[in-house]
Amino acid sequence: MMELPRQQRQPVHLQDCEVNLDDEVDDNGDLVHFAFFADSEPVRLADAIQHPKWKEAMNEELMAIEKNNTWQLTDLPKGHKAIDVKWVYKIKVKANGEIDTYKARLVAKGFEQREGYDYGEIFSPVARMVTMRLIIALAAQRQWKIHQMDVKFAFLNGLLDEEVYVKQPPGFIQSGKEEKVYRLTKALYGLKQAPRAWNKRIDSFLHAIGFKKCASDHGLYVKTNDHGDLLILCLYVDDVIFTGSNLKMIGDFKHITMKEFEMTDLGLMSYFLGIEVIQGDDGIFIHQRKFADEFLKKFKMKDSNPVKTPIETVIKLTKEGDGQTIDATYFKQIVRSLRYLTCVEAGGSFFPTKA
């Protein structure tokens, strides 16, 4: 019996796109893909390594790994398996949409790990959004400024309890040592236990410099001095926001933290997890204009007309019908995005109490 050729169906999210193969040649003889554009995120190493910005980003990542003593080149012991790694590229943009940095991450393929053998606990807490809103409201009421810092290569600081080996990174395999692997002494992005290892590391550091962790939110830390001054810190993976009543405590915290970790001082908090923050003398205003604009573009509603109700009031819904089957993943993405928009409700302003 002759086997019929398998029909290829285009994914739902690409139905409005013209899709071409990577090796397809157009009338001008050029390859039909856009990985070489300066503002595009490449998928393949072969594309990225030709772009100076991405090549510089990869070298910066490897320099950070070496500087942090994350691994050491060795032979793979008998009975052990080396985890494969890959490069992941990401363009970080500012709140106004301008390109901020080109980031290349060397990521371990964590799905190759075996539970109980090369990883154990993986849960890592982060500050809750309601906690962050509370801190913003408190800062506005007390007329404090909220500061923000970002930890560079955060996961590379996490110490590993397990014996883990990874292969040499693609494009940077040492000549004459092709068979050797790296043994990790600290976490690498992509490892299942990497977030937990980093959280344990930063948690022990914060306790060592006098912070106490909140019992109801493990991403919230508080520090006081002998004069009753307060320093409050919220931790969300590698993003740190903090505020307090004493400017010297804030300055000392920045100084000691930047000595312990490689960090970027972002100054006053202005953009955090898709939320834009405007701090002024008359209070603090937060909004999600950029996130909302991206949401409308992504789900093709940018040119839609606004209405007072999200659904027609006279429409009758039935449980079953002959309508087109929806894409469950696409629907869930819309719901999750709408839920995240509720992080900042209509009353997104926090004004200080007047004396």
Q: How high is the mean pLDDT in each 10-residue block of the chain (355 residues)?
A: 50 49 41 42 85 90 89 91 92 78 90 84 88 91 94 88 91 91 92 92 95 93 93 93 94 94 91 88 87 88 82 77 78 88 62 50
* Spatial separation of the C-alpha atoms in residues 92 and 169, rounded to whole Å: 23
* Residues spanned by the domain of 187: 28-287+346-350
Length of the chain: 355
Predicted local confidence at residue 3, as pLDDT: 46
Predicted local confidence at residue 36, as pLDDT: 35
Determine, yes or no, domain membership for 105: yes
Token pair, residue 258, equals 């930047």
Determine, yes or no, domain membership for 317: no
Determine, yes or no, domain membership for 20: no
Predicted local confidence at residue 23, as pLDDT: 40
Instruction: Please check whether residue 106 is in contact with residue 61, taking contact to mean a CB–CB distance below 8 angstroms.
Output: yes
99 by DSSP, 3-state: which? strand
How many Å is the Cα radius of gyration of the chain? Answer: 25
Token pair, residue 87, equals 């490069």
* Spatial separation of the C-alpha atoms in residues 66 and 88, rounded to whole Å: 18
pTM over 0.95: no
Q: How many domains does the chain have?
A: 1
Determine, yes or no, domain membership for 294: no
Residues 6 or more apart whose Cβ sits within 8 Å of residue 2: none
Beta-ladder partners of 182: 73, 166
Determine, yes or no, domain membership for 296: no
Residues 6 or more apart whose Cβ sits within 8 Å of residue 292: 341
Beta-ladder partners of 286: 277
Predicted local confidence at residue 327, as pLDDT: 84
* Spatial separation of the C-alpha atoms in residues 38 and 24, rounded to whole Å: 21
Determine, yes or no, domain membership for 314: no
Determine, yes or no, domain membership for 249: yes
Q: How many CB atoms lie within 10 A of CB 157?
A: 21
Determine, yes or no, domain membership for 305: no
Predicted local confidence at residue 11, as pLDDT: 56
Predicted local confidence at residue 28, as pLDDT: 39
